[in-house]
Structures are given as structure tokens and as C-alpha cells.
Chains A and B, each alone.
Chain A
Amino acid sequence: MILSAEKKKLLWQDQFGISVTKDQFSVALAGNPNVGKSTIFNALTGLHQHTGNWPGKTVDNAQGSFYHQQKSFLIVDLPGTYSLLAHTVEEQIARDFLCFANPDVTVVVLDATCLERNLNLALQVFEITTKVIVCLNLMDEADKKDLVIDVPSLERELGVPVIAASARQGEGLTELRNKIYQVATGALQTKPRQIIYSSEVENALQDLLPLVADIASHTLPPRWIALRLLDGDQSFLNSLSNYLDIHQTSFHPGWEESKCAQ
């Protein structure tokens, strides 16, 4: 999934209203509602994006930036969602960003007190991108509830770095910055755990993948697209055709003409 810096800049500006400079790494923050994404966003960027203890207060993408080891990182705070299988506007925004904007790193923020439900979203993100970091936030709350989380085992199971944090207390943020840096630069390779579906679904995927590879052309996640095609997810199909349309017209000027000629 390689998108040239120039194309990426255009795409981000046009589609998501976000200006990323050429030498900046991009980081997306995803997670369930009310897990402290905005608190982490503020702690990393030093901004004061509104935070509050109610769900749904980030309904659009908020952006900020920070420097770490002489590198600049653009960070995008996505709306909180339980899923990326788009039934709500928030889910659609988060899904389209992860799928089409192709951030260098995605940090999935999980509520350490409610891992079971939160991991659902993490597994979905794993299907879209390999460059993922899991941040277990609200570790202080988990402590209060006498919950003990075996972080090294979770890391092994998930195949991505897992960082324990309490963003309100400022704990775990240095490690998070370090891991973001390592994953963005490629110094640390991640291999997120993939869900294997029933043999019927897997066979159908194998049939679809060669066809999807054509439209995905190294910038979109083929397996994810094939899965959504199997779902018949109309909302995603609309976003996909919209993206392909814009992509083709703005980046290959000749394409419009060839279409007219037909």
C-alpha cells in the first residue's frame, strides 16, 4: 500500500480536509467511544481539543501535530466507533479515513476495563492496515477494578505493539511516541492477527482477490475490500466508487477522455 507523498497530500486535502506536509508522518487515532482518544490526542499534540466524558463529541476528524526525534507527525483524532462496518456517520468517517487515507500508523485506543468489546474494533482495523499500535488506555481505572492485564501475552496474541497507558496521568505517552516513531519509520514491523473465516468465505475471498487487486492497485487493502463486497456493504461501495472516481480523474487526467471516447 504505497501512495506517493504528492498524491497523498492531494487526496488528504480533497477528501478529508487535512493538510499533511510531504515529510510528515501521519497517525490516525481510532477507538470505541469514550476511551480517551481525545485525551491522548491532546497529550501528544499539546492542543486543547475539547474532551468530555460523554460519547460522540468528536464527530469529525480533528488534527494536530507533534515532533519526536526530529520528525514531524500529523495526528488525526477519529470519531469513536464500535465498528468500521458503517451504520453511523461516525463509523463511515473512521472507516473511509483508515481505508482511503492510508495513514502511516494507526493507534487503536482500547478501554482496558472493557477489553472484550474493544478488541472487536482492533480486529477490524487489523484487516485494513498492518501498521497498527494498540494503546491500552484507562489502566488506572482497570487497577481500581483489580483488573490485571497480561500485556506481553496480549502483544503476542495480537501481533502488534501493545502499550499500557493512563493518558490523564500522562503515563505511557513516551512509550507511545517511541512506538509510533518505530512503526512509522519501519524500524518495527507489525504483523496484526488476521481473522480466518469459514472455508466458504475464505474460498469466495480467494476467487475475488485477483479481481479486487486490479482496483486496489497497491493503495487499498484488497482483503478488506473483498470482504465488504461479500457483505454487499452498500455504504462502503459508495465510498469506494467515489474514491476511485476522484482518484482516477485527479491523478490520471487522460482517464476522463478515454471514458468519453467509449
Chain B
Amino acid sequence: MKGAVRIDPLADLSPGSVCEIVSLELSGLLRRRILDLGIVPGTLIRCIRRGPSGDPTAYLVRETLIALRREDTAQIFVRRLSNGEECV
């Protein structure tokens, strides 16, 4: 179905799903850090698994596994590409 593309925070992704980065609503050093890790708009990112207490979560980005905290992934916005109840 076409229409408005649904944008979600990265934090909402469940393990196994793949999405594309749309925007980073972070600032300062943290933004720089995320960009340096290769997480830029257009990058594909796969949610791999959650930490024991639900945080942090491991993501696969450009073939590197990176753990990110929920407080940060809540500020990273993505378009879902596969899995779960996504894709409208």
C-alpha cells in the first residue's frame, strides 16, 4: 500500500527486523559518534537481540555488531523494511 511512509523510532524494532535509517534526532558528541559508526540516513540496520534486561540492544550495521541504548535509539528514526507486523 502506498501513501505516507511510516516512520518509527529504532527502539521500537523487535529482534530480526530490518529497517532503513531515515533521520537522527541526536545532537553533539552522540550524534557524531553514531555517524562515525556508519549509521547515516539510508543505512540498513538489523535488530539482532536485546540485552538481558531489555537494554541495550545489539544491531548489525555494515557487518559490525553494535550495542545501542534505548534512550539513544529512541532518537533515531527508521523506515521498516521487513518482519513482524510492519510493511503496512
Contacts and interface: CB of A to CB of B under 8 A. Distances in A.
Interface in A94-151: 113-114, 116-117, 120
A235 to B, nearest CB: 9
A85 B35 CA distance: 11
B38 interface: yes
Given A82-B37, A120-B38, A114 B63 contact: yes
Interface residues of B, number: 10
Interface of A is mostly: loop
A252 interface: no
Nearest to A232: B28
A117 B32 contact: no
Contacts of B63: 113-114
Contacts of A87: 29, 32-33
For chain A, give the interface size range: under 10
A83 interface: yes
Nearest to A233: B29
A83 B33 contact: yes
A83 B62 contact: no
Contacts of A116: 38, 62
Interface of A: 82-83, 85, 87, 113-114, 116-117, 120
Interface of B: 29, 32-33, 35-38, 62-64
